[in-house]
Each structure stands twice: as C-alpha cells, then as structure tokens.
Chain A
Amino acid sequence: MTANAKITADLFITCVVDQLYPDVGVSVVRVLRRLGVTVGFPTDQTCCGQPVYNTGYSQQARTLAKRVLEQFKDSEYVVVPSGSCAATIRVFYLEIFDDDTELLAEAKALAAKTYEFSEFLVNVLKVDDAADCGAGHEGTVTYHPSCHLLRELGVKSEPQKLLQSVPGLEQKELEGAEICCGFGGTFSVKFPHISEGMVTDKVANIQASGADTLVSCDMSCLMNIGGALNRQESAIKVRHLAQILDPESE
C-alpha cells in the first residue's frame, strides 16, 4: 500500500512480547510492512514501567518511563502491541510526571503519537479491510477485550472491525467478554486465589463460545488465559490480533 509509504512507525514492542512472545513482534512488523509502513525499533528499549507503577513504586516507574520518553522522542508514531502498555504511556505517564512541567510536556508529546496496534491500523492507516494486509484465517475466533485497552484507551470497535474483515474467519460471541481475566500484573501473584477464580470463569466462557482460537490485543492477558487453558489441557489456541492479520504467522 503506497498510501502509507511516508509513514514511519517505531515499535515499542513491550517486555512481554520481547521476552516471551517474539513471534507476535515479528507478526506486528510484517503486518505494518505489508501496509507500507516503514518500521523502526529503538533497540535500547525494555519495559514501560507498568509492573512497578501498578504496584505502587512510582520512583522506579519514573526511572523506566524517562527511558521511554528519551528513546521515542524523535519518533513520528509509536506503535505498541498491547493495550495496557499503550495505556501506561498515554495515561499513566501523565500522572507520573504531573509534578514536572518539562517532563510532563514530553510525556504529552509522546502520548499524542502513541497508538495501540489495532487503533493504529484502523485510525491512522485507515485499514477497513483486513485483506489489505493479506490476512486470511480459516477457523472460529472469539475476542477478549482487555481491560486497559477498553477502559483506559477506549478502544472497543477497532479490533472487532479488523477481525470481522478477515477472510475465512468466523467470529463467536464471548459471554462476559468485558469482565477482567484476572491477570492484573502483580495482583495475579499477590492474590492468586482470586486471580485463579477470575481466569477460571473466563476460560469457561471461552470454552462455551465454541471458538478454536482466542484473540486479544494484550499478550499478558493471553499469557494468563493461555496458561489456564493449557493447564486444563484445552486445545483452544491464544493469538495476538497481529498474528491473525499476518498471513505468514503459523
């Protein structure tokens, strides 16, 4: 797509994708390139600081947030394949730096050009047909809207819109879709019994949906749900939206 040829997007790939799900990152790169975007990857990047911020360690979060401000200072667009890491940059950085005029201005500038993957595709690249990325998926899919994507960023229709246009893909409704999967970062190990209760219900609803694949825009939620599905010997696969859109993904 030549229409996007002039667009350069730098990836903030997230530590979860970097360390645990590099294939998701590869699919993100492939999809963006198929859409004509010039993809960059500042290699000094690590983590946005969300795990420490959500646990109450603002100083540590600030240290990591400053690195992100620095690394993406000159980016045209920043694309993040995670609703909650994108929310950290867009929403929580403004809280982290609300006592520092200079850094707050930088944080606002970064927030203004940072997009979660699905909203970048739909709202910036104006993709209205997933076939534009060459996507095709034979099978049934159900979608879990992750909480921060939905409620911090207000991204609701974009991933659905992309999924609906994937040739061959049949979408199944997910009961209680907007209920949290129970991950919540350190919450999942601080209160494992409550987290387990929540993911158990999520898994039951996914199984009842009849879908063979669960799709979401956050690998941390999918790590939680996928881990529970695997423990229950379920054959249901978990995939990031980028993997569904990427025809080369297995």
Chain B
Amino acid sequence: MPEIKTQDFTAASTAAILDPKLRRALDRVAEGFHVARLDRIEEVTQDVWDGWKDQAREIKVHTIENLDYYLELLDKNVTAAGGQLHFAKDADEANEIVAHIVRTRNIKIVTKSKSMVSEELGLNPVLEALGVEVWETDLGEYIIQLAEETPSHLVAPALHKSKEDVAALFTEKLGIPYDEDIYHMAATARTILRDKFMEADLGISGANFVVAETGTLVIITNEGNGRLCTSAPRVHIGITGMEKVIPSMQDLSAFLRLLPRSATGQRITSYVSMTTGPRRSDDEDGPEEFHLILVDNGRSKMLADPALREALYCIRCGACLNICPVYSRIGGHAYGWVYPGPIGAVVSPMLVGLPKAKELPQASSLCGACREVCPVNIDIPKMLLDLRKKTAESPDSSLRSAPEIERVLARLYAKLMSSPKLLKMGVKFGRFAQKLERMTPVFSPLTTDGKWIRNAHIPILSRWTKSRDLPTLPKQTFHELWEKELSPDDS
C-alpha cells in the first residue's frame, strides 16, 4: 500500500488552506463539475433524479447483502467467458497476482487506464521493481505520474495542478519547449502514449462496475485510453474492489445514468467500454488473456460493520468532494491517503486502520451536503458520527482521537448540564471571570471590549478567538429573565 500520511492531517490541511493556487484550482471544480451536475438534475427534474437514486441504492443494498452469491455468480461467468477471476485479501496478495502474471508472461511494457484501487494497492512501484515500464494513460494520471505525485481527486486526479504547472512539468520531464496551450499539451501526451499503446504487452484497467450475470467489466472514460488499454495488449488485467459487482446488465443502466451526471455533469461519458473475457477465436483483435482481480483489502471489515456497510455502496463519482466545504478548501492530498473528501474520511480509516486515520472523521462540520448530493444516498455524516463514537470512548487508547482532556471535559459538560444548580453557579463564575479583567487586567483570562471577547487566553477558547470574536455573557440568562419578567405567574 502507498505511504499512509493520514496522521498528519492537521499539519497538511493547515498548509493546504494557505495555498492560493490550490484554492483557485478547487474553485474551478466547484464551478465546473458541481454546476454541470445541477444542470443535469434540472433537465431530468429533481423527482426523476430522486427516483433514480432510490433505485440505484436499492440495487446496492441488495447486492451488498448478497455479496457472496453475486461474487460466485461473477466467478462462474468470468470463467465461462474464458477469463480468470482472482480474489485478493489484501494489497500484497493483489500485487503478487499481477507480479506473477508479469513474470510468467514475460511482460515488458504496461499501459494503465485510471484505477483508484491500483493506487490503493501501490501497484506501480511493485511493477517498476520488476523492471517493467509502467505508463499511466489517463491524461490526469499521466501528469501525476510524471510529477511523482498521487491523485488529489477521485475523478480528476491532477485537479490541483494548473495548466502552467503542467506546462512546466512537461518542459522539465519531457524536454519540450514551454507551451501552456492545453490542446498542445494533450497532443504531446497523446503522441507519446499512442506508441506505448501499440508496444504494451499488458493493459491494466480499473472497473467502474463488474456485472455478475455476464462476467463483464465496465469502465467509463472520456479519453478512449481505457479501451486501448483493454484491447490492444495481449494480456488484460482488470483490478477493482469486491464491492463493485452488480447483478445484471439491466442494473448497469441505473448506474450509467447516475455516475457521469454526478461525477462531471455529463449525460454520458465519451466511452462506455464493456469487456467480457479475452478475444474469441473469430475476433480480429483483443487480448489473449483476461484476468479480473477483486480486492478485499479491508472491505470485509466494512461489510461486517452494519454502521459502515453503506460505504461499500460508493460508486466513486466524487460529487461529495466537489460539494464539501472542507475538501474545497484543503484539497485531496491533505487527507493523507488515496481516498479524500467526505467518503474518504470514512473509507480511509477502514482501509488503513482507524488508529492511523482517526482524525479524518473529526474534520467535518457535519453539514450534510455530501449526503444530499450522493447518487446512492449514502449517509456519510452518520458514518462520520459513528467513527467519532468509536474513537471518542474506546478502551483502546490507540483508537482514541482526542487528548485525555476532551474526555474529561465531555464528562464535566454532561455533569454541569445535568444540574441546573451547577449550571447557575457556572454562569456566575463566568461572569466573575469577565469582571476579573477590569480588576486585574494582566492576569485576566479574557480580553474583552465589554460586549465581545476579543482574545481568550484559555486553551480551547483561544482557538476560537484567533479569528473570531465571542459574545460576552449577558447580565441575565433566559432562565433569569423568565423568572423575573416573562413567566405567566408574573404577568
């Protein structure tokens, strides 16, 4: 698996939020994908859209509840079509399956179409260590590979890079003159990759869906690179998560309506490619071998947990990233692992282990925008809350997300709020603390202007007053006002 940096979330997000270039790039996504998505919903009407969502969710619920059945059916049909299905329990096993094929088939050059699961496995370094040339052929992935970076978005991996960044990168890595014309840059990549498509012995693709009743691998792309990867080389390996299986071709239509519209605001992508087995004897082209690797790598932990199971319904459209007010300020890399944004804050902790990624579920205001845009109605805020519960009070200290003081404060808060008498005393103490300033300005815990606390010199409050003022406690609480003047007994 690639390096896990989820522990550094606070530092990484602090740096990211100060990067104006990143912010501009992220804003462009909001403008582009999000607005286009809304247009697509408007043209089919919200009611119809909601119906599509409900239908897709129903399919996902049914499939995940019967996953063992559909995986067996898929296995049977992949085999019947002349392909081979491999099941990998973790990243090492999946990488070894690919490595074995590479070694035994004398593979020299690999072309890859976009696959987040291969990112999750850290497959490229494994292939390179075998002495194989690996070429990412999705334009965004190609840029990221040249820059030796990782994707920062589920569907737009190089989103954090401006065209100027890419022009400079091409000059540096490809030795071509600086040219920031997007069409020229795309043409450069196309020329380089076109040769590789023809030379490659192995094509590796991801899968947006795999259809159990036919054993078909489905990928949707806009660049056509996917189809070249899956048809030109003599071996094709598809790699995806085991949750990507769907029962039937009819079910596929439900998702083909939702995925492009949710992801990029397109009615349909330029290419929808379906691959069933290797070439048949009367086919003119196509690979001699077809392998499908289904990866668990932590997914069965999600399956076993009723509170987190619905994270497996995710079709990786990225709509929750585009709408998220946190993601749209810090970008994908700050999340520290392959899957960013709201869904990443659920999936990453489950795949890399909660102790390492326990901060991610905390980094949300629980505004619910992600749930609203999700094409399969995944209740992400509820799962974030569940992970917070799992980390707040765990007997295992490696799971606890906050310093001990937070648990003490939570208990104190409940005590204070359980006793109106204690609360009254607390308020009096607060008012006294505000007065302290006038008596002993040097030792006062607060700097106020009478109406507002401008600066709190107390640990947690100071985090608030760094950028915002806080109202001072008024002379009377509502309780006191009620008793004095509002209660019907007095009127």
Contact = CB atoms under 8 A, between A and B. Distances in A.
Interface in A37-61: 38-39, 41, 43-47, 49, 51-61
A56 B483 CA distance: 34
A contact residues, range: 35 or more
Contacts of B487: 41
A212 interface: no
Interface string B365-376: 111110110000
Given A26-B486, A195-B365, A198-B365, A151 B329 contact: no
Nearest to B411: A60
A227 B472 CA distance: 11
Contacts of B382: 95
Contacts of B391: 56
A194 B328 CA distance: 10
A83 to B, nearest CB: 11
A9 B223 CA distance: 61
A192 B466 contact: yes
Contacts of A59: 393, 414
B410 A179 contact: no
Give the residue among B368, B385, B414, B481 with the most A Cβ atoms within 10 A.
B414
Given A25-B481, A187-B366, A197-B329, 19 more contacts: A21-B471, A22-B477, A26-B486, A38-B488, A46-B417, A49-B417, A60-B411, A63-B418, A151-B368, A152-B368, A180-B365, A189-B464, A191-B13, A194-B17, A194-B363, A196-B468, A227-B470, A228-B468, A231-B468
18 contacts: A19-B427, A21-B471, A26-B481, A46-B420, A49-B414, A56-B388, A60-B413, A151-B368, A184-B365, A187-B362, A188-B365, A188-B464, A190-B362, A192-B467, A193-B17, A197-B17, A197-B329, A227-B464
Interface of A: 13, 15, 17-23, 25-26, 29, 38-39, 41, 43-47, 49, 51-61, 63-64, 67, 95, 147-148, 150-152, 178-180, 182-185, 187-200, 223-224, 226-228, 230-231
Interface of B: 10, 13-14, 17, 325-326, 329-330, 362-369, 371-372, 382, 385, 388-393, 401-402, 406-407, 410-411, 413-414, 417-418, 420, 423, 427, 452, 454, 460-461, 463-464, 466-471, 473-474, 476-483, 486-488
The 10 closest A-B pairs by CB, nearest first: A184-B365, A56-B392, A56-B388, A227-B468, A180-B367, A151-B368, A60-B414, A25-B478, A147-B367, A22-B478
